[in-house]
Chains A and B, each alone.
Chain A
Amino acid sequence: KAGVTQTPRYLIKTRGQQVTLSCSPISGHRSVSWYQQTPGQGLQFLFEYFSETQRNKGNFPGRFSGRQFSNSRSEMNVSTLELGDSALYLCASSLVPTSGGSAQYFGPGTRLLVL
């Protein structure tokens, strides 16, 4: 079974631009979560989607948004990029939402550099 895929793998943007990242979950998985990972803050939860609905959101500004499609694929968008948004963005999929105890499986991540 194919794993979680994320595109693109690398991105370079400048301050003020916006970016859209894409995630395709493992086949049959209906829940997708997004995380930001930086050396200083570790893995920070962004949001979780299940059945096209956002179930939970982390403590990030409104510039960070996401959505999920009917085929469970998900996208996240960051508008008005800031230097501090430089990070590894990870997508993780699970059979059901994590509140149900389902384990999450991570994709390879998208490394974003904001100049």
Chain B
Amino acid sequence: QKEVEQNSGPLSVPEGAIASLNCTYSDRGSQSFFWYRQYSGKSPELIMSIYSNGDKEDGRFTAQLNKASQYVSLLIRDSQPSDSATYLCAVNLSSNTGKLIFGQGTTLQVKP
């Protein structure tokens, strides 16, 4: 089992729809969770960080964390073509103290 798993996609949604990106992780003791966006040919850009169970909203983005289910998700409301990118989930696993482990990323395509 991979330490951090994401569906590689592509996930295709129409413009204006809600995109839902999911991530599971192996270490129940993990405390810090991050979502990054990476456009083709560019470096990852931090979108959200979340540390507590529940939802955290920032503009059109909502991160959801469920530590009991070892699951973190990112919702993008009113998706725009400019949201088309690869979204990377990153988890600071307690068993790998200090290492931030990235999932393989989910490619999102927002069609006009």
What is the interface of chain A, defined by CB distance below 8 A to chain B?
33, 35, 42-43, 45, 48, 55-56, 58, 88, 90, 97-99, 101, 103-109
Contact = CB atoms under 8 A, between A and B. Distances in A.
B88 A43 contact: yes
Contacts of B17: none
A106 B44 contact: yes
B97 A99 contact: yes
A98 B43 contact: no
B15 to A, nearest CB: 28
12 contacts: A35-B102, A56-B97, A98-B98, A98-B99, A99-B92, A101-B51, A103-B34, A104-B90, A106-B43, A108-B42, A108-B43, A109-B43
A104 to B, nearest CB: 6
Contacts of B97: 56, 99
A43 B90 CA distance: 10
A107 B100 contact: no
Given A33-B100, A106-B43, 15 more contacts: A42-B102, A42-B104, A43-B44, A43-B88, A48-B98, A48-B99, A55-B98, A88-B43, A90-B43, A98-B99, A99-B92, A99-B98, A106-B36, A106-B44, A109-B43
Interface of B: 31-32, 34, 36, 42-46, 49, 51, 88, 90, 92, 96-105
A105 to B, nearest CB: 6
Contacts of A107: 43
Given A45-B99, A56-B99, A101 B31 contact: yes
Nearest to B104: A42
Given A42-B104, A98-B92, A109-B43, A103 B98 contact: no
Contacts of B49: 103
Nearest to B103: A42
Contacts of B31: 101
